[in-house]
């Protein structure tokens, strides 16, 4: 996949091979970033190509089943745990979909949904950090020839990228599920 790793404002862009959150790749060749997302029997698995070992590193899995509690597993030998242990609500308000999580670099981040940008996901530091600028912005290009991508606005987050990508996949799947539910409600006259 060819891409320009940095835009005119020097942000790194991780490009997705398609618009799916179930079966896709996310990569920036020039930075050596290569992730694979695959889903089998409802369980989504995230792996990263590790150039040091020349093999796939198992990052984590999530099971967001409809009839069972959501759960996540970090690493290949990790235990399944409730999703809320990994990705927790920032507020208890029903309409706030922001979630806090720890990157594998130890920093605490928040994925936020911006409704003014058609449900665009933006990642920032949590409330305890004074930096409120976006660290990563998700650009979903449905009707454009531009590739869907994660724009990394602050490269200091690269050390926590494994958990960031896993949390992103969960957040985006949930955002799309909410959007589909709203569309079904509108089309059925509710």
Question: What tens digit of pLDDT does each residue of 16-48 get?
Answer: 998 788 899 999 998 999 999 999 998 999 999
For 37, the token pair is 């997302």
Per-residue pLDDT at 26: 95
Domain ranges of the chain: 12-187
Per-residue pLDDT at 18: 87
pLDDT category at 1 given cuts 50, 70, 90 is very low
Measured between alpha carbons, how far is 59 from 1 in angstroms, rounded to an integer? 22
Among residues 17, 59, 21, the alpha carbon closest in space to that of 172 is found at: 21
Measured between alpha carbons, how far is 68 from 74 in angstroms, rounded to an integer? 19
Per-residue pLDDT at 158: 92
pLDDT category at 129 given cuts 50, 70, 90 is confident
Among residues 163, 176, 175, the alpha carbon closest in space to that of 72 is found at: 163
Per-residue pLDDT at 186: 59
Q: Is the pTM higher than 0.85? A: no
Tell me the C-alpha to C-alpha distance, in Å, between residue 66 and each of 36, 42, 71, 72: 24, 10, 11, 14
């Amino acid at each position: 996949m060819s891409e320009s790793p940095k835009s005119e404002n020097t942000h790194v862009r991780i490009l997705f091979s398609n618009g799916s959150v179930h079966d896709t790749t996310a990569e920036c060749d020039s930075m050596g970033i290569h992730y694979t997302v695959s889903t089998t029997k409802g369980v989504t698995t995230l792996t990263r190509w590790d150039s040091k070992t020349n093999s796939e590193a198992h990052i984590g899995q999530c099971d967001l089943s409809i009839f069972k509690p959501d759960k996540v597993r970090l690493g290949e030998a990790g235990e399944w745990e409730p999703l809320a242990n990994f990705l927790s609500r920032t507020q208890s308000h029903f309409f706030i979909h922001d979630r806090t999580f720890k990157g594998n670099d130890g920093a605490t981040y928040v994925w936020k949904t911006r409704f003014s940008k058609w449900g665009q996901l933006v990642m920032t530091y949590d409330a305890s950090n004074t930096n409120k600028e976006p660290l990563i912005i998700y650009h979903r290009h449905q009707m454009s020839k531009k590739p869907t991508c994660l724009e990394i606005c602050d490269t200091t987050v690269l050390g926590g990228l494994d958990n960031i990508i896993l949390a992103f996949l969960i957040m985006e799947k949930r955002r799309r599920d909410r959007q589909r539910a709203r569309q079904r409600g509108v089309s059925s006259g509710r």
